[in-house]
Amino acid sequence: MGWIKRNLFFVIGGVVTLGLLGAGGFYIYTGWDRNSQAAEKLNEIYGTLRNLQTEKFTGGNGQVDNSRTAREQQQQLRSWIDSTTNYFQPILAIPADDITSENFAEALRRTVDALQREAGTAGVTLPPGYDFSFSAQRLLVNFAPGSLEPLAVQLGEVRVIAETVFAARVNALDGIQRLRVSGDDMAGSQGDYTDEHAVTNNLAVLTPYVVTFRCFTPELARVVTGFADSPNMFLVKAINIQPAGISSSAPENAAPGMPGLMNGRPPWGFGLPGPAPVAPPPADKGGLPTVLKEQLLRVTLIVEIVKLLPKS
- For residue 277, count CB atoms less than 10 angstroms from its CB and return exposed for 0-12, middle for 13-18, buried for 19 or more: exposed
Domains delineated in the chain: 85-275+293-308 (3.30.70.60)
Largest CA distance in the chain: 119
CB-facing half-sphere around the CA of 59: CA atoms within 13 A: 5
Q: What confidence tens digit (pLDDT) does each residue in 11-60 have?
A: 677 767 777 777 767 667 777 777 788 888 888 887 887 776 776 666 66
Residues 238, 242, 248, 253: what is their CA dihedral angle, to the nearest 10 degrees? -50
Paired strand residues for 239: 301
CB 255 within 8 Å of CB 264 = yes
Name which of 208, 154, 152, 148 is nearest 183 in CA terms: 148
For residue 119, give the nearest of 107, 108, 110, 130 by alpha carbon. Answer: 130
pTM of structure? 0.63
C-alpha 257/C-alpha 197 separation (Å) is 11
The DSSP 8-state label assigned to residue 142 in this structure reads S
Q: How far is CA 8 from CA 19, 20, 102, 239, 240, in A?
A: 17, 18, 110, 76, 76
Q: Please say if the pLDDT value at position 233 is more than 50.
A: yes
- Alpha-carbon span 161 to 54, nearest angstrom: 57
pLDDT tens-digit map of 144-186: 888 999 999 999 999 999 999 999 999 999 999 999 999 888 8
With residues binned 3-state (H G I as helix, E B as strand, rest as coil), the percentages for the chain, rounded to 5, are 45, 15, 40
Reported in sequence order, the residue ranges of the chain that DSSP labels E, i.e. its strands, are 172-177, 199-200, 204-215, 234-243, 297-308
Q: What is the mean pLDDT of residues 280-299?
A: 67
What is the pLDDT at residue 294?
Answer: 77
The whole-angstrom separation of Cα 122 and Cα 116 is 10
Residue 266 confidence (pLDDT)? 42
Kindly report which listed range (65-69, 127-131, 245-249) carries the lowest average pLDDT score: 245-249
Q: String of b and e for 63-90 (b: at least 16 CB within 10 Å)? A: eeeeeeeeeeeeeeeeeeeeeeeeeeee
Distance CA 147, CA 187 (A): 14
pLDDT at 5 over 80: no
